[in-house]
């Protein structure tokens, strides 16, 4: 029997009482800031003195060498670091999925721990390890790999390498957990049949494991893309970016878009409108790359 109209209305009203507070918080802390930042991206001026500037901030993007450097660095980190990290995470998960492996739980925990480590502790450890007389240079010198210390903190090339190593070290275990959980949900009889049929291990990995992990691979690719394009913590704390307004210094070898937004907002004379415009560059990049990834995945189905 359908509920009476008055009872249905009672349920609807009570339901809205539960929903409205959450909707209000979403509107105040998410929808309103998004709309306001979009409007602010068309404002020009310094500090709180702003006025409508139309497309002036977009034109400024095309003429700003520091923005172009930050964009280049961000894309460089995305192109190099994300494939390395996800490949390592996938192969590590496959190795740890072996039921005959001893101390598998301890190894999984050790690989996963970096992503829950405090950023301050993590940054201090990497700085102490990679200074000129740090443990990394000493170890490389001890085995004869280098004749002099590698300038991890000062040379632009090695600073980028250090940042890629740091991000990979921290987030490989995080993605490994997703792959490992997906692998443990695959029926092992599939591999047994393939092994009995004489399918080699390499073919089993590429023809069975990878296709069955495709949804998880797509998920980790999208989330890693978003995280790398928003890269801030490591670039700000491990290898400092010493950018002066309008000019690019040696420390800008690891300057990312998020760090540049921070500089525009807090380090230089505040330029909130231009900072909002740069932030929407990240939004557009995330949307485009996510669309490409979903399209490629759909076409291969």
Q: What mean pLDDT value characterizes the chain? A: 84
Residue 243 banded pLDDT, cuts 50, 70, 90: very low
85-132 confidence digits (pLDDT tens): 999 999 999 988 887 888 888 888 888 988 888 887 888 888 888 888
* pTM of the predicted protein model: 0.83
Domain boundaries, the chain: 5-40, 58-300
pLDDT the model gives residue 281: 92
164 or 43: which carries more pLDDT confidence? 164
pLDDT the model gives residue 92: 92
200-236 confidence digits (pLDDT tens): 888 888 888 888 898 899 999 999 999 999 988 888 8
Q: May I ask the CATH architecture of the domain 58-300? A: Orthogonal Bundle (1.10)
Q: What is the 3-state secondary structure (H, E, C) of the chain?
A: CCCCHHHHHHHHHHHHHHHHHHHHHHHHHHHHHHHHHHHHCCEEEECCEEEECCCHHHHHHHHCHHHHHHHHHHHHHHHHHHHHHHHHHHHHHHHHCCCCCCCHHHHHHHHHHHHHCCHHHHHHHHHHHHCCCCHHHHHHHHCCCCCCCCCCCCCHHHHHHHHHHHHHHHHHHHHHHHHHHHHCCCCHHHHHHHHHCCCCHHHHHHHHHHHHCHHHHHHHHHHHHHHHHCCCHHHHHCCCCCCECCECCHHHHHCCHHHHHHHHHHHCCCCHHHHHHHHHHHHHHHHHHHHHHHHHHHHHC
């Amino acid at each position: 029997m359908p509920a009476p109209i008055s009872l249905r209305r009672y349920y609807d009203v009570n339901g809205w009482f539960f929903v409205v507070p959450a909707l209000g918080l979403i509107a105040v802390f998410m929808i309103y800031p998004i709309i306001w930042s979009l409007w602010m991206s068309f404002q020009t001026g310094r500090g709180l003195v702003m006025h409508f500037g139309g497309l002036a901030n977009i034109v400024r993007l095309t003429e700003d060498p520091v923005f172009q450097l930050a964009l280049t660095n961000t894309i460089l980190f995305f192109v190099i670091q994300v494939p390395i990290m996800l490949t390592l995470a996938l192969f590590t998960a496959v190795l740890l999925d072996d039921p005959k492996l001893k101390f598998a739980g301890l190894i999984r925990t050790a690989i996963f721990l970096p992503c829950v480590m405090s950023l301050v502790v993590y940054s201090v450890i990497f700085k102490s390890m990679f200074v000129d007389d740090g443990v990394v240079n000493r170890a490389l010198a001890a085995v004869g790999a280098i004749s002099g210390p590698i300038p991890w903190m000062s040379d632009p090339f090695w600073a980028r390498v250090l940042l890629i190593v740091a991000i990979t070290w921290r987030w490989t275990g995080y993605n490994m957990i997703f792959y490992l959980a997906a692998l443990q949900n695959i029926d092992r009889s599939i591999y047994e049949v393939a092994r009995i049929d004489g399918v080699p291990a390499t073919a089993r990995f590429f023809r069975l494991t990878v296709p069955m992990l495709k949804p998880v691979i797509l998920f980790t690719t999208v989330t890693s893309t978003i995280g790398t394009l928003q890269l801030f913590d490591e670039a700000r704390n491990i290898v400092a970016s010493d950018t002066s307004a309008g000019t690019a210094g040696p420390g800008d070898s690891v300057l990312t878009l998020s760090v540049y937004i921070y500089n525009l907002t807090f380090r230089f004379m505040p330029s909130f409108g231009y900072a909002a415009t740069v932030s929407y560059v990240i939004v557009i990049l995330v949307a485009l790359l996510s669309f490409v990834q979903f399209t490629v995945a759909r076409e291969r189905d």
